[in-house]
Amino acid sequence: MAKKFIPKKQSGLGQFVDSIFILVLVYVSLYIPLWLKSESAAAAANNGPKPTWESLHLPAVIQEQWVKLGYDAEKAAALIDTKFDYTIDPVMLLVTAAVIIGYFIYMIKVSDKQYREVIAEKFGDK
């Protein structure tokens, strides 16, 4: 039988610190894209002329539905003009792919190492 690993017991303060850590981590990772977004949104303020239904050139039925939804030309234009930018930056694509693939490889490798310890202790060395 592999020697049984006796783990340390954690103090109450240590547990509290760890709980706060994970909480902060979750908040930060949710808020980062929000902060980045608000920076770029502030930069892209619309300074053009006020849109009207004529300037939007919408087919009659579509315009009718916008009005039914309670939208005036200006509010509708704000939604119609926001478009996604799908131009692919090859560097960012490679970085993102590397991060995801690297993360999984790292996880599986480290898990396997820890797993072998677990099996050795549970079932005995081969």
Partner 1 sequence: MSTSAASATGGERITMLKVLNPFHIWALGVGIVLVGEFMGWNFSVAKGGAYGSLIACWVIGLLYTCVAMIDSEVTSTVAAAGGQYTQAKHIIGPLMAFNVGLYLVMAYTMLEAADALVVGDLMKSGAEALGYAGLDTKPFVVLTIAFLAWLNYRGVFMTLTLNFVITLFAFFAILVLFLVTDPVHPGAVLKHSELLTDLPYGWIGVIASLQFGMWYYLGIEGTCQAAEEVRSAGRAIPLGTMGGMMTLLVAASLTWYICSGLMPWQYLGQAVTPLYDAASLIGNTKVQVLLFIGTMFSAIASANGCINDAARAWFSLGRDRYMPVWFGAIHPRYRTPYRSIIFLIPIAVSFAFTGLLDQVITFSILSGLLGYTFMSINMVKFRKKWPLNSIKRGYIHPFHPIPAITLFILCSAVYFATFLGYGASLLSIMAFYIVASLWFTFRRYQFVKRGDQFTMPWPRPKGY
Residue numbers at the binding site for partner 1 (CB under 8 A)? 2, 4-5, 7-10, 12, 14-16, 18-19, 21-23, 25-34, 36-37, 59, 61-62, 65-66, 68-69, 71, 76, 79-80, 82-86, 88, 92-93, 95-96, 99-100, 103-104, 106-108, 110-119, 121-123
How far apart, in Å, are the Cα atoms of 102 and each of 10, 84, 90, 94, 120? 31, 28, 18, 11, 27
Of 45 and 66, which has the nearer Cβ to partner 1?
A: 66
Nearest distance from C-beta of residue 86 to partner 1, angstroms: 5
Nearest distance from C-beta of residue 74 to partner 1, angstroms: 14
Q: How far is C-alpha 47 from the chain's CA centre?
A: 30
DSSP tag of 8: P
Of 42 and 88, which has the nearer Cβ to partner 1?
A: 88
Nearest distance from C-beta of residue 50 to partner 1, angstroms: 18
Cα 80 to Cα 23: distance, rounded to the nearest angstrom: 37
Six token digits for residue 113: 């190492």
Six token digits for residue 67: 């009005």
